Amino acid sequence: MLALSTLYLGLNYLWASYNSLILPAQVAQVFPNKEQDIALGLVAALGVGAGLVANLLVGSLSDKVSLPWGRRTPFILSGAILTAILLIVEARRSLDATYVVGAYVCMQIFSNMTQGAFRPLLPDLIPKDQRGRAAGMLGLFTMLGVSLGYGLTGYELGCIHPEYALLLAAILLLLTSLPTLVALRGNDLAPPKRCSVVEALMDSFKPSETAPTFFPFVAGTLLVYTGSAGLIYFEPYYMKAVLEVPNPDYGIALGGITVLLSAAFSAVVLGVLSDKLGRKQILLSAAIAGGVFMVALSLNRSFPLFLLLAALLGAVVGIFMSVRNAAASDLVPPSATGKYMAYANLAVGIPSLAGPAVDGLVLCAFGGGAMGFRILFLFSGSLYFLGAVLLSRVRGVRGRTDDAGTVFEVKLPPRCPLGPRLDAFLHRNCFGRVRRPRAVEAADSHLVQERLT
């Protein structure tokens, strides 16, 4: 589990350092001052969009196409090597506008090749009763990679030669991919049903009808992420206009550290607990709590209270970072884990792409300032609440494991014709629990074994 998770440290170090520090610095070098803001937005949108498509295509390909070293390993290895080569070449080459755009798009494509083949390993290799713990480990390595990306890259860009930041990202990605690849030896099995590359690519855009609750789950988590994805870009203005912090950079740094520590802690703890308590209730509670915290932020004008709310929102982010992955792995069809984990990734990728623009439009519509941020936080809170509504529609019956690893399944009675309230009462109180082996899957609509309620 630990070896499989190390790759996320290298990937998130790369994305945090490149997206937040390296790319803005490169854009500032090759574009005129008046065009830098719009150029950065367009380059970022183009790169993230290309990465999302690559993630989906590689996820579907690795489901159906088997290569000499397995179905996931070749994509993980080739993506990491191509990304590292690109970063090394970029460190030694003079920059121009065309190269900056092309390099960023290629970096997103190559790194998402690695991630697209990596994400299905959670449902492929980890038993259901351990996926929360594994997802918590991924969340911890994500936060560690992000923290190192901000800290080390900021130091390298400011104090050492900037090209060292690219070289370090390349080396770290290769080093962290090695334990994952070693752990996959002998475990990266061939797909149950092979097909041609063209068929696999065409299948990427054909959702199956065998996962009816999966897409409400993706839509709910997408709304939650949209509620917070773009806020970080406007934090300097919030510090000045609302909190009136004398040194905004200090406030941003302290708030960022608070969020990262809180998110790392909650990702691990709640990820582990979701194996016992169930994932749906944890996600639903976190979405509602996040909406409440956003409403509180809309009323806040105190920096100490801002830090407290930032810590609480960081805990919500950490919960969704880990428990969401475990819940998605529980819901995906076993024959298409790569494709469906890529669909689940859209809940993070689309808000990253559209979130800053949406939040910027809200602020612009209400004139910025204290009132603009109040409306923005209320809008973000409403997205959290809407996400909670959709997550509540992800249906299933509570299934837990005892100490011996036995799954308790719930057998529901037939629908009662006397009315929905009596029907709901009977379904809550008039059923029997039957012990069956963990490997047994629900065979019809009256036997449910998912751990999402």
Q: Which segment of 111-125, 127-141, 166-180, 407-421 scores lowest on mean pLDDT? A: 407-421
Residue 442 has pLDDT above 70, yes or no: no
Distance, in Å, from the CA atom of 392 to the CA atom of 288, rounded to the nearest integer, reads 11
Distance, in Å, from the CA atom of 322 to the CA atom of 134, rounded to the nearest integer, reads 8
What pLDDT, on the 0 to 100 scale, is given for residue 212?
Answer: 73
Residue 186 has pLDDT above 50, yes or no: yes
With cut-offs at 50, 70 and 90, classify the pLDDT of residue 444. very low
Q: Do domains 1-206 and 212-395 have the same CATH topology?
A: yes
With cut-offs at 50, 70 and 90, classify the pLDDT of residue 196. low
Average pLDDT, the chain: 80
Residue 127 has pLDDT above 90, yes or no: no
The answer as to CATH 3.20.20.70 being correct for domain 1-206 is no
Report strand pairing: 407-411 vs 447-448.
antiparallel
Higher pLDDT, 325 or 194: 325
What pLDDT, on the 0 to 100 scale, is given for residue 197?
Answer: 65
| Residue 80 bridge partners (DSSP) | none
CA distances from residue 148 to 35, 164, 183 in whole angstroms, order as listed: 30, 14, 24
- Asked whether the beta carbons of 345 and 329 are under 8 A apart, the reply is no
What pLDDT, on the 0 to 100 scale, is given for residue 407?
Answer: 32
What pLDDT, on the 0 to 100 scale, is given for residue 92?
Answer: 85
What pLDDT, on the 0 to 100 scale, is given for residue 278?
Answer: 86
What pLDDT, on the 0 to 100 scale, is given for residue 156?
Answer: 62
Residue 404 has pLDDT above 70, yes or no: no
- Asked whether the beta carbons of 63 and 124 are under 8 A apart, the reply is no
Distance, in Å, from the CA atom of 146 to the CA atom of 269, rounded to the nearest integer, reads 19
Residue 181 has pLDDT above 50, yes or no: yes
Q: Which residue from 259, 8, 257, 312 is spatially nearest to 134, judged by alpha carbons? A: 8
Distance, in Å, from the CA atom of 218 to the CA atom of 394, rounded to the nearest integer, reads 10
Residue 165 has pLDDT above 60, yes or no: yes
What pLDDT, on the 0 to 100 scale, is given for residue 103?
Answer: 92
Q: Which residues contact 270 (CB under 8 A, 6 or more apart)?
A: 132, 136, 282, 286, 318, 319, 322, 323
And the tokens for 7? Answer: 């790759």
Q: Give the mean pLDDT of 132-157.
A: 82
With cut-offs at 50, 70 and 90, classify the pLDDT of residue 429. very low
pLDDT digits (tens, 9 = 90+) for 267-319: 999 999 998 888 989 999 999 999 999 999 999 999 999 999 999 999 999 99
- The CATH classification number of 212-395 equals 1.20.1250.20
Per-residue burial over 37-74, b if 16 or more Cβ lie within 10 Å, else e, is eebbeebbebbbebbbbbbbbbbbbbbbbbeeebbbbb
- Asked whether the beta carbons of 60 and 338 are under 8 A apart, the reply is yes
Helix then strand then coil, in percent of the chain rounded to 5, is 75, 5, 20
Report strand pairing: 432-436 vs 447-448.
unpaired
Q: Give the mean pLDDT of 159-167.
A: 75
Q: What is the dihedral of CA 130, 131, 137, 140, to 10 degrees?
A: -140
Distance, in Å, from the CA atom of 266 to the CA atom of 140, rounded to the nearest integer, reads 9
- Lookup result for tokens 């609480």: 312
With cut-offs at 50, 70 and 90, classify the pLDDT of residue 115. very high
Q: Is 401 helix (H, G, I), strand (E, B) or coil?
A: strand
Instruction: Name the DSSP class of 198.
Output: H
Percent of the chain with pLDDT over 70: 81
Q: Give the mean pLDDT of 3-21.
A: 86
Q: Which segment of 100-109, 172-181, 223-232, 439-448 scores lowest on mean pLDDT? A: 439-448
What pLDDT, on the 0 to 100 scale, is given for residue 410?
Answer: 32
Distance, in Å, from the CA atom of 2 to the CA atom of 11, rounded to the nearest integer, reads 15
What pLDDT, on the 0 to 100 scale, is given for residue 209?
Answer: 60
What pLDDT, on the 0 to 100 scale, is given for residue 353?
Answer: 83
Domain boundaries, the chain: 1-206, 212-395, 407-448
Higher pLDDT, 25 or 288: 288
Residue 417 has pLDDT above 50, yes or no: no
Residue 155 has pLDDT above 90, yes or no: no
Measure CA 239 to chain center.
27
Cα radius of gyration (the chain): 23
Q: Which residues contact 13 (CB under 8 A, 6 or more apart)?
A: 145, 146, 148, 149, 152, 169, 172, 173
And the tokens for 56? Answer: 């989906």
What pLDDT, on the 0 to 100 scale, is given for residue 190?
Answer: 65
Higher pLDDT, 64 or 66: 64
What pLDDT, on the 0 to 100 scale, is given for residue 230?
Answer: 80
What pLDDT, on the 0 to 100 scale, is given for residue 35?
Answer: 77
Sequential DSSP letters for 28-88: HHHS-GGGHHHHHHHHHHHHHHHHHHHHHHHHHHHHH--BTTBSSHHHHHHHHHHHHHHHH
Residue 224 has pLDDT above 70, yes or no: yes
- Asked whether the beta carbons of 429 and 412 are under 8 A apart, the reply is no
Strands (E), 132-190: none
Q: Give the mean pLDDT of 372-396.
A: 90
What pLDDT, on the 0 to 100 scale, is given for residue 233?
Answer: 76
With cut-offs at 50, 70 and 90, classify the pLDDT of residue 256. confident
Q: Give the mean pLDDT of 334-340.
A: 84
How long a stretch of residues is the chain?
A: 453
